A and B are shown apart, each in its own frame.
Chain A
């Protein structure tokens, strides 16, 4: 039995004339302990896919199975790192994490909860900022709070929706390593959504492209057979890396071209003579 399984999942937003099928016939299997990355263009339906898996949305047709059971609601077993951090702005860093820990461990004592909050805030190197509010933090720091909040709930599976998309290259690299460290520590299952192929190759066991929507479906999967821990600088000379990277990029470029040619409509321009404002 697969750990997470999507069977013929389709998702349509809106009704009647306004209906658009964003995802069509998605089939995906993730095994326990795997790190899977999904790459895709903006607007192709990645967030929609994530929300189907974490239980915020229900598919129009098809099934999402988590450990063999259909996903009907959100669950503490699946932790989510949202694309736009989604921190509560009126709470401090510590309070944001505290709220999550308290929900995930309802039987824990106050002391245990506080200790756990401090531990996870320290893990993302934010101890000095524990009493700050989100608006006082940089984008990278906010995203780290969001990571701490998701991980402090000790989920079996981590679902990350473009977690590093808005960050600068340096912060991005650091956080990639931090996430990998946490993932490898007790081999949780991870699903990473990204728009950066290199990030996918560096972090995942498997990369699956999402063809652009409407009617987005998953493309062929690419296995990354590179030993862990991976080293960024060495990766550039790794033959396997180069091969996979080129294959994925070629594939994405291919569907990009397809999309362009598919929308090659001829627009008739109205005949207008520009009015001159110069006397």
Chain B
């Protein structure tokens, strides 16, 4: 039997297959399914999740009981037996006004997660409605040269996630734009490397908080008479400055330790200095540069939350902070939801970088 294969070779097709290739590489190869791998890859991780949730549940319950006993005891000593009985009844009834405030249980967190999603849907619907309503008005305003009316309602949890991602990518790009070229220049010259080493060693361990304050001092003055979004600018610059050191150090190291054989090839072929950098030195240090970028991205994500929290710029960090200050009955469980979301996004970002890193490394595969 004959088989015919048609290959679509237009641009879109190529891009499609590229994306597919990438996705395939992102997901580790499916193992052959047999009893052993089923146990190893599915049952054991599943068991560990159940164990984790179980321990969490038990722990939360214990903390709840301690908190509840304390409340009842306090009512007893402050107001007497009657108040204590009332308090015990109130707690048992599950009434919102008197719930012990402690580590939320897995079930509460799950409920909060669903609440946040529902909230997001409601806000999205609201936004769409607002857009539809103002569409005509905005068109006329635009014609008149006025700024359009924008939605100013509260951002949903999902919006906050995207704001955080936007900030982290801006910070990451800033780190890349600064650290890679500087790293290359420093790496090329032993003299420069020796003279800048102290600077790198001093700035590398500086805490995100200090960077934020430093950036705040500068940006505050510089954006004085412009109406740009200075909270966003401050937080992404701080994130970039905090996170760029790994890339800087790795790039400089990669450039400084290019295999002598490759340098000899460049000399024998008589490549000019620019050609030598772009055709030999940079490609050969790409694996190390990407190792640095991977660390930079994960550091950026980690410090982002703290920086948003301090800079009052919108995003997951300020979400956590607002919920903490809010002190509503489900605030604690919302914070835990945010914690999981932060963790999972961090993990996914790292996976993406690992995949890119493996694609550019020409001999060995990096491991997680």
Contacts and interface: CB of A to CB of B under 8 A. Distances in A.
A84 interface: yes
Contacts of A54: 268
A56 B270 contact: no
Contact of A103 (B261, B270, B363): B270
Interface string A74-91: 111001101010101111
A76 B271 CA distance: 11
Nearest to A104: B269
A86 B270 contact: no
B270 A74 contact: yes
A99 B286 contact: no
Interface string B252-274: 00000000011011011111000
Contacts of B271: 103
B280 interface: yes
Contacts of B74: none
B269 A99 contact: yes
Contact of A90 (B264, B269, B362): B362
A67 interface: no
A238 B291 CA distance: 60
Interface residues of B, number: 16
A90 B267 contact: no
A99 B280 CA distance: 11
Interface of A is mostly: loop
A181 interface: no
Nearest to B264: A56
B264 A82 contact: yes
Given A56-B264, A84-B261, A89 B363 contact: yes
B322 to A, nearest CB: 48
B284 interface: yes
Interface string A191-221: 0000000000000000000000000000000
A80 B268 CA distance: 7
A56 B262 CA distance: 12
Contacts of B269: 99-100, 103-104, 153
Given A56-B267, A74-B270, A76-B270, A89 B362 contact: yes
B268 A88 contact: no
B362 A133 contact: yes
Interface of A: 54-56, 74-76, 79-80, 82, 84, 86, 88-91, 99-100, 103-104, 133, 135, 153
